[in-house]
Structure 1
Amino acid sequence: MHLELIVLAAASVLLVGMLVFSELGRRLAAARLARDPKGVKGTGSAAAAVFGLLGLLLAFTFSGAAGRFEARRHLITEEANDIGTAYLRIDLVPGPAQPELRALFRRYVDVRAVTYRQSSLADSQARLAEAADLQARIWAAALAGCRRPEAATPCTMLLLPALNAMFDITTTRAMATENHPPLVIFLMLAALSLVGALLVGHDMAANRERPWLHPIVFATIISLSVYVILDLEFPHLGLIRVDSADHVISDLRSTMD
């Protein structure tokens, strides 16, 4: 199953679960109210504590997800800059060795531009493996070119460090895509959301008619917030994507023709 469907399913399950817990809380309070009309009072402090903790957890989780989203966008720009710098320094390689390097660079940029646009993790892993193979071929071709008798001294001093930076940023981006909060944070967020829904239903037990608006609005807002957080955490596979920043790599590729 695609990750975006998993995220959507998780948010939908949370929405349904909150509505169920809201109804459960209403029924529990109604049963207690029938036995003791004053028994449902005095729960305001507990509800305030739960909702306060839920709000804090939502705020910090959203802030962290948004920060990681922006960091991933900046890494795309950084990679484009590193590739552009290394490509320009191919001019330091003797002329006969340049065509092979430039062809390898063009292929490498083509692969990097679509690596994180794949619809499945397996496809992304295949593109990462292809990029690693191209890195090895680019490095070998660069070494061979810099070792040619007619190669200038700056070839080794300037081109090889630029290639190192170009290769290293791929690892940085790969690790950034795997940088997420621990699973326990999301489980705690879901648990607090369900408890909050339970308390919302509990506080509405005194109404004669079944209140639908407040539980539905509360459940919808919380589940939508959780969906946005999860979408930000996986920005290549959901509705909120960093693909718009990939155009810098595509623009760089157009200058290599």
Structure 2
Amino acid sequence: MNPPFLNPWVYSAVLFIGLILCVFIGFKIGKRSRADGGSGALNGAVFGLLGLLLAFSFSGAAERFEHRRDLITEEANAVGTAYLRLELLPATQQVALRKKMQQYLQIRLETYQRIGTNTPAALNAYQRSVQLQQQIWTEATLAAQHTGNTAILSLVSRALNAMFDITTTRLAATRNHPPIVIDILLFALSWISALLAGYGMTDHKRIPWLQVIIFSAALTITIFVIRDLEYPRLGFIRVDSADRLLVETLQGMQTSGPKRVAGYHGD
């Protein structure tokens, strides 16, 4: 969950304004102390550290974003396989289980659409999915046991296990973010860099505001994109398009039965 003080819009606005103020303060300090621009080596070290931190943060956020997209594909495949395995059970018990599987997938979609809202509806959707997991597992395994075929029991139970396990994996992935100290460090180091940049402008009579605004905007946008990638259900960069796989799986269940679902995932 994204903490309130890390709201990307508030974060970006404060960062942008702070960068401009830091450049201005650094410029005034440099003028009053009659600095000669400071040590280029020291300034370069700080700017290099900022660039390194930005590069690692962006790379990590992009990697976690792609991992979350991949997990959606894995869940779609797991649900499709489990739905197909219902064909191995007695025909009289397949209808009820298919309906529960469809309800389960619908609730799963609702759960992830509400992730990040931190509302009772989001928690309620998750709890309902957990309850349906237990119901599906109990009914399916009992039906498989009644067939007297251990191979069927093994196939059905393994498919259901995979379908349920991926929910835990996806939940863990949504909570996988860098420590808050990384965000604080990135924030503080950006301001320090802006302060040094302003301090090094002593050879200017006035602050070159165009360059300062461009520098502040570029740095703010970069950090904004990093935050957007970290929370892909809240901003502009989203994994919602990948949910289409789950939607199509649900549509296959509702319209053409398990053969359509199996064919889709076999492509």
Corresponding residue number in structure 2 for 1:183? 180
Are 2:105 and 1:109 aligned?
Answer: yes
Corresponding residue number in structure 1 for 2:156? 159
Describe the superposition over 1:149-185 as per-residue Cα deviations: whole angstroms up to 9, x where unpaired: x454432110011101100000000000000111111
Shift of 1:46: 1.2
Question: For the structure 1 residues 41 and 7, does the alpha-carbon distance in structure 2 shift closer, same or farther, using more than 3 Å as the test?
Answer: closer
Are 2:47 and 1:48 aligned?
Answer: no
Are 2:133 and 1:135 aligned?
Answer: yes
Shift of 1:214: 1.7
Between the aligned partners of 2:58 and 2:105, the Cα distance in structure 1 is 32
Are 2:250 and 1:249 aligned?
Answer: no
Q: Determine which of 78, 82, 88 is the counterpart of 1:86.
A: 82
Answer whether contact 1:109 1:253 (CA < 8 A) is retained.
yes
Q: Which runs of 4+ in 1 moved over 4 A?
A: 2-5
Answer whether contact 1:25 1:201 (CA < 8 A) is retained.
yes
Shift of 1:115: 1.6
SS at match of 1:207: coil
The amino acid of 2:69's aligned partner reads R
Answer whether contact 1:92 1:152 (CA < 8 A) is retained.
no
Between the aligned partners of 2:151 and 2:68, the Cα distance in structure 1 is 33
Shift of 1:86: 0.4
Answer whether contact 1:73 1:245 (CA < 8 A) is retained.
yes
Give % identity: 43
User: 5+ unaligned residues in a row in structure 2: which ranges?
Assistant: 255-267
User: 5+ unaligned residues in a row in structure 1: which ranges?
Assistant: 34-38
Q: Determine which of 215, 218, 222 is the counterpart of 1:218.
A: 215
Between the aligned partners of 1:173 and 1:41, the Cα distance in structure 2 is 50
Answer whether contact 2:15 2:187 (CA < 8 A) is retained.
yes
Shift of 1:126: 2.3
Q: TM-score, normalised by structure 1?
A: 0.93
Answer whether contact 1:30 1:206 (CA < 8 A) is retained.
no
Answer whether contact 1:93 1:151 (CA < 8 A) is retained.
no
SS at match of 1:255: helix
Shift of 1:78: 0.2
